[in-house]
């Protein structure tokens, strides 16, 4: 039985390590580039499952209609369908969630669910994604070994919008806890850092620590590019 892991982030190491405990290395194919996820290539692999732990691109209809494609979403669906689940949850003050494994279908995050696992959103985003990758590896193992069949989602549908880079501006926040959450939820590879700006400089924040009456963080200061009209 062949398995494809499609992941375009660097957090898949934990997943591969978990799977290699129970499955032959030769049966697991990793795809980490958009251009490599093609119908023609997948036909030659003939996978039983294609798992998408972290995938930033649209999955072509020709692929999810032919193969059993399983995506992972960091909300208790149908609550939180849509983009930037971690950032949307933390921005709402929600620190306990579930990771949902669901079948890829035409409508975003609307497919039936194989299983869910409890998950806590503490620490910086990079740390959260690394912990999530370990949980996802265990979920993939369960789906394969137990041959889990997905069931339709039940409950009220709540949609999240994908966060935009300018939403990382912390200039107008009023509480230290909010500032801390904004810094940590964007502190991961591939995400724009939380920031503030003045007329000349941009201040970006990473590795924040919340103390009793202050936040200690690393700051990157860059000079803003001058614009000419």
Q: So what's the pLDDT on residue 226? A: 65
pLDDT tens digits, one per residue of 71-97: 999 999 999 999 999 999 999 999 999
Q: How far apart are CA 141 and CA 118, in angstroms?
A: 16
pLDDT over 70 for what percent of the chain?
A: 98
pLDDT (average), residues 197-210: 95
Q: So what's the pLDDT on residue 46? A: 95
SS3 assignment for 6-68: EECCCCCHHHHHHHHCCCCHHHEEEECCHHHCCHHHHHHHCCCEEEEEECCCCCCHHHHHHCC
Q: Is the pLDDT of residue 116 over 90?
A: yes
Q: How far apart are CA 159 and CA 220, in angstroms?
A: 33
pLDDT (average), residues 147-163: 95
pLDDT (average), residues 31-54: 95
pLDDT tens digits, one per residue of 55-76: 989 999 999 999 999 999 999 9
- pLDDT top residue among 92 and 21: 92
Q: Is the pLDDT of residue 228 over 70?
A: no
Band (43; pLDDT cuts 50, 70, 90) = very high
Q: So what's the pLDDT on residue 25? A: 63
Q: Does the model's pTM come out above 0.85?
A: yes
Q: So what's the pLDDT on residue 75? A: 97
pLDDT (average), residues 116-125: 96
Q: So what's the pLDDT on residue 229? A: 44
pLDDT (average), residues 26-35: 89
CA torsion 95-113-47-29 (nearest 10°) is 0
pLDDT (average), residues 139-167: 93
């Amino acid at each position: 039985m062949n398995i494809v892991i499609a992941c375009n982030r660097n957090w898949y190491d934990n997943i591969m390590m978990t799977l290699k405990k129970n499955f032959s290395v030769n049966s697991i194919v990793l795809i980490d580039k958009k251009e490599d996820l093609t119908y023609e290539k997948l036909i030659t692999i003939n996978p039983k499952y294609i798992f998408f732990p972290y995938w930033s691109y649209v999955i072509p209809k020709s692929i999810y209609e032919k193969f059993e494609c399983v995506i992972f979403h960091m909300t208790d669906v149908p609550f939180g369908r849509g983009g930037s689940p971690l950032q949307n949850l933390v921005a709402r003050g929600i620190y306990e969630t579930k990771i949902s494994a669901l079948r890829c279908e035409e409508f975003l995050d609307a497919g039936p669910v194989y299983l869910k696992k409890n998950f806590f959103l503490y620490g910086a985003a990079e740390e959260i994604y690394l912990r999530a990758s370990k949980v996802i590896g265990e979920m993939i193992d369960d789906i394969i070994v137990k041959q889990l069949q997905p069931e339709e989602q039940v409950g009220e549908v709540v949609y999240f919008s994908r966060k935009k880079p300018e939403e990382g501006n912390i200039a107008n926040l009023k509480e230290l806890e909010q500032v801390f959450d904004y810094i940590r939820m964007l502190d991961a590879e591939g995400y724009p850092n939380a920031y503030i700006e003045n007329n000349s400089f941009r201040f970006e924040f990473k590795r924040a620590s919340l103390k009793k009456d202050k936040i200690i963080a690393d700051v990157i200061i860059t000079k803003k590019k001058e614009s000419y009209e």
